[in-house]
Chain A
Amino acid sequence: MSGSEKLTSLSSELDLDRPNLEDYLPSGSSIQEPHGKLRLRDLLDISPALTEAAGAIVDDSFTRCFKSNPPEPWNWNVYLFPLWCCGVVVRYLILFPGRVIVLTVGWIIFLSSFIPVHFLLKGHDNLRKKLERFLVELICSFFVASWTGVVKYHGPRPSMRPKQVFVANHTSMIDFIILEQMTAFAVIMQKHPGWVGLLQKTILESVGCIWFNRAEAKDREIVARKLREHVQGTDNNPLLIFPEGTCVNNHYTVMFKKGAFELGCTVCPIAIKYNKIFVDAFWNSRKQSFTMHLLQLMTSWAVVCDVWYLEPQNLKPGETPIEFAERVRDIISVRAGLKKVPWDGYLKYSRPSPKHREQKQQSFAESMLRRLEEK
């Protein structure tokens, strides 16, 4: 597999956060342990492995997580079609320009306040930070208004206390904007190219952001250290982490990376669920650039979602960080009505580690040797 050679070193490091897959796989896929003396037909019968492989070709739970499900077209008959056309006209010619104006006004206000505050108040850090936080929340509100975001927040607002992190399920980068408009979180993000990267470097720096680069293997330790430093500081903004590590289509959750759960802090789960009737907010980064995604949102009717701030959780005695991560994932999935799958989101970018294949090979070898002994 020539293309993936440079990625195998990354996947072997990701091994460390992967719990035993066999605990998760549905019982239907576990192969019946064969018994009895080993005969030629048992050796030749490769049907379990074949069935699994063919099953994976026909349908697999990993690809399902990243499938964008377009809503059923409803404009298919002679009465509905003109109605839909009117809708298109309203959305593209009335709503869209209006939203662009709102966004432009928002940016003007923001930049004309942020730049002076940032440079002139260099000496008065406390006041500067407060104002910058307020301004970031403001521009996020403008963004949300530009898609006519209807966000219903449930639960108590996050408080600024040290030694706590917030974790949420991830559907699109707009998750961050929606949460940011209520509280100026510091966030940990993948470094992006283009105008998003520029925003990351300038404005998000002011609320405190940590960058990572998925493609760099050594990055994990550096990031883990930065995370720890951030949560220890009393003055830093509360940290928001998306432990899935990638955008998922809001019907499933993939495995949470344990990094957020071994910082020795309280973990406050946040569940986000988008209402698909209005727009599918899943950002399929393989199919669309972020700009196209934003434009798609700005030409839809509305972005409707629910945000639940759930009860803070602590590591239970005797619980490993991975078990803690799975427990929190369970809490979030149940609240937002998402199904859990036992896959690591990074498999989008790399091949599974050889460890899994080796587990299967090992159980086959052991079964064979055992049956050889039987009379």
Chain B
Amino acid sequence: MGQAPSMLTQYDIEEVQEHCNNLFSQQEIVSLYQRFCQLDRNAKGFISADEFLSVPEFAMNPLSQRLLKMVDGLNFKDFVAFLSAFSAKATIQHKIEFIFRVYDSDSNGKVSFNDILEVLRDLSGSFLSDKQREQVLSQVLAETGYTKESYLMLDDFIKVLGSSDLKIEVEVPVD
């Protein structure tokens, strides 16, 4: 789908739907395509970091840089796959996997103490000192039986987060 034509054919829609495991309906995919073309100003087939940051609500988000690394330069098919974690039909496991990927910035399959610290730093900025963050994290990890040297895998994430009800859902406007 490199050319980004202005109309999607039925084949294209079905291909994208398969790629995202049917987590979006065909109408939602058409809406997402309209949105994709709106953000991709010169029809290059992908959305650049600059174009994402031109959405003020996104630029203001503390996790925007992290998410940018994951979504920058994706073509439409992968863009939909990226967003599929936010579909109402996605499983809790899928959503937790997404969160894991956000933490695991070096994609080595494990999340270290420092990885979590980095995300905390993004979320709290200059309003907490590094020492405070380390302290809080060590304390909370110890309560759950982990140490500073522990590496959390996806299974650990599922164990910790699986019981809470995660609200990660975004509604795709369908006109």
Contacts and interface: CB of A to CB of B under 8 A. Distances in A.
A368 B170 contact: no
B141 A40 contact: yes
Contact of A43 (B55, B56, B128, B137): B137
Nearest to B163: A41
A60 B146 CA distance: 40
Q: Which 6 A-B pairs have the closest CB atoms?
A: A361-B125, A365-B127, A56-B57, A56-B58, A365-B124, A356-B60
B157 interface: yes
A325 B146 CA distance: 54
11 contacts: A43-B120, A44-B103, A45-B99, A53-B61, A53-B67, A57-B55, A62-B56, A63-B39, A361-B126, A364-B124, A365-B127
B160 interface: yes
Interface residues of B, number: 59
- Provide the main secondary structure of the chain B interface: helix
Contacts of A369: 128, 132
Contact of A351 (B39, B53, B63, B173): B53
Contacts of A116: none
Interface of B: 32, 35, 38-39, 41, 50, 52-64, 67, 71, 83, 86, 95, 98-99, 102-103, 116, 119-120, 123-128, 132, 136-137, 139-141, 143-144, 146, 157, 160-161, 163-164, 166-173
B62 A361 contact: yes
A53 B64 contact: yes
Interface residues of A, number: 46
A248 to B, nearest CB: 15
A77 interface: no
A360 B60 contact: yes
A49 interface: yes
A49 B62 contact: yes
B8 to A, nearest CB: 17
A72 B168 CA distance: 35
B140 A67 contact: no
A368 B123 CA distance: 11
B57 A60 contact: yes
Nearest to A359: B60
Contacts of A291: none
Given A45-B164, A54-B83, A352 B60 contact: yes
Given A46-B99, A54-B170, A58-B171, 12 more contacts: A1-B50, A4-B53, A40-B140, A45-B161, A47-B99, A53-B63, A54-B168, A56-B57, A60-B58, A63-B54, A361-B124, A361-B127
Interface string A352-370: 1000111011101110110
B52 A46 contact: no
B141 A49 contact: no
A352 B38 CA distance: 20
A372 to B, nearest CB: 6
Contact of B56 (A49, A58, A286, A352): A352
Contacts of A362: 125, 127
Interface in A30-78: 38-41, 43-63, 67
Q: Which of B67, B71, B127, B169 has the most CB of A within 10 A?
A: B127
A361 B157 contact: no
Contact of A59 (B41, B62, B63, B173): B173
A366 B127 contact: yes
A46 B56 CA distance: 20
A219 to B, nearest CB: 22
A41 B146 CA distance: 13
A193 interface: no
A54 B83 CA distance: 7
Nearest to A53: B61
